[in-house]
Structure 1
Amino acid sequence: MAKKDTYLALLRRGIDETTAMQLADSGLKIGDLKKIDQTMLVENYGLKPDIADGVLEIIKAGPQSHGKERFLSKVLAPERKQESKIEEIRFQRERRDVLAELAEQKERLKIAKVESFRAQKLVMNRLGKTVELIVKLEDNLEDETKDDLKVKIRDQLETRGLEAARDHEMLELDGTPQDIVDYRRKHVPTLVMHACPICGEEMDPRQSRDEDRPDEYALMCWDCETSFQPELIINVMARLDGADRITVEEDSRPRNPVPPKPARMDLESVNRLIEADLESTNASADAMTAQVESSALVGGLMDINDWIDQTIAAKGYIQAQEDREDFILRTGAGATKFNKWMKKAGLYFNKQTGRWTRFKDR
């Protein structure tokens, strides 16, 4: 009976079953455990030193509600190693170097993105101007009645079409430049013109505003003298004044759940995150820089003098009918500047053959 009482008393204090059974079988009681020391438990009763220390500490502390957890934490918890000051300083220096390198890679990535965007913007502006010129040429071609002028306009359309195709290919856009021209000529004017509901006359809203109704967007048809509001404006005002308009409540809570603030991480976790970010940023920065350098927008165009030397070395001459298209695509120069660049390079033009050479008698 005494063994069972000792066993249960030890369990209530949080000692594990194996140790409690071993102490109860040896005939020890709670009072005896308070009188002996750690050396006697190790030598006479076969306990390990750390387990003996945990048993004595629990016995001296008395019964507790969390005795078992406390006993296990004392026995199983590893000893904390003291961090070296030198290692901490070394880690801080390495982290500072890593952060500096990471900032440098991010700056490289930002510069590469800016250069890529700048090159695309230049080409896009040039393509827009070329498209506007093609639109004007096509309008003039439809209105022109003389055949000789139509031939000249078609030649200009051909050269401008080559320039638009070059820029369109550089930007890697879908479709063709002619699709942009058709949209600009056929669809855009219909989007801004309004028809009179009485006579059907189309009018430009910039020249047909009704001055007697300044508070409303009203147009005046000068043929039938009818003042009206376009159907588009009526639909827009109905939507703005309607009850189904979207409203924003400034004090409302976020619709999606807000993630909690991340917990603090130790130095090793921070170091791993920094290294992963550095590796990804470095790779993306190198890839972006290589892409910008190899892009046709930045480094793909040849120098005009180099193109002239290369063409003459290959053929011995330059002819507008054969080499104008290649000249536009390779150098990026305008088609109308072809003869000017040939003269500037010191070439001689033969009127009989239509060729440019470096020799006056050929």
Structure 2
Amino acid sequence: MLSAVVALALPAVASAAPEIRTVSGATPASLDATINAFKADAGEKRSEINWDGVPATATFPNRFPGGFFGSQRGAEFDTPGIGTEISNGSPWGGGFPRYSGDKLFSPVGSNYTNVRFNVPGTPRQAFTSAFGVVLSDVDTTGGASVTFLDSRGATILDVPVPPGPNGLSFVGVRFRDGERIAEVQVRAGTAPIAPGVVDTPQTDLAAIDDVLFAEPQADLAPPPDTQFVPIDVPSGFDPSSSSASSATPLRASLVTLAKSVRRNRLLKVVLGSSADTEATLTLGKTVKHLTLQAGATSFSFRVPANAKKGKQKLRFELTGTDGNTAAKSVKINVI
């Protein structure tokens, strides 16, 4: 069941395009040629994670600590769900072939896994130029994908995983135009693996096997410190007043431009007018009160370096010169 072996590369005139390699097949051997080509793309200084060196203390039924490979390999794994785990697949109901060894990786409570990079042995943020992943039992077209993001959380490339029912699939990408991949999001299947959940065409369950990536490099030229403009709040808007429905609506549409916000970054808030005098921002346990200068049209808020990671509510409250208030809450993902 060898469905495809593809190296998507444009002619020399467009040599800076990402090189994308995908393949699916019934056996590990059917993936070998494509994966070996990707290894050559990634270079000699690359890391390969196959999960079989993970000790029993971090294997099912115990949770896998996402930072396990951070010190030696420079990659950390987390999920919007409740954790991650390593097993031979049998606790998940079986039916998950392996590319190498006996162990597989899966998020718990979600079908998404986030891979972030650091300089090995340090907490310093890093990026990679090449990343590849093997998935087990992707049954359907559109059942899995690999998304590459920069350090601001902006999507650089999204690659669908070729289906390999009861088999294996691989996606590997090398970036050749200076792109800095700070995060990779792997969507394995259309639903989380969980006890009692049956793998069907409508509920495509998939697991993650080998992960390969070029050696992470320190991000010496990070993006601008101000990450994104999350919200516009008009001044003098009292949500509890009878005229609230006719007021300019609070807007948070720009939040969708950034999937994640790193700790210690500045968030810039643009005001609806320059008549506001006070602002209060609340993120988790952090509360910041600001007195705005006359004529101010924006202000910035730094996400605390010790902010809790994960999805959190960021609440804005503004008080205008007329005493009215405006309030809005938005969800952000702190990484």
TM-score normalised by structure 1 residue count: 0.18
Higher relative contact order (CA 8 A, sep 6+): 2
- Select the structure that is richer in helix: 1
- Select the structure that is richer in strand: 2
TM-score normalised by structure 2 residue count: 0.19
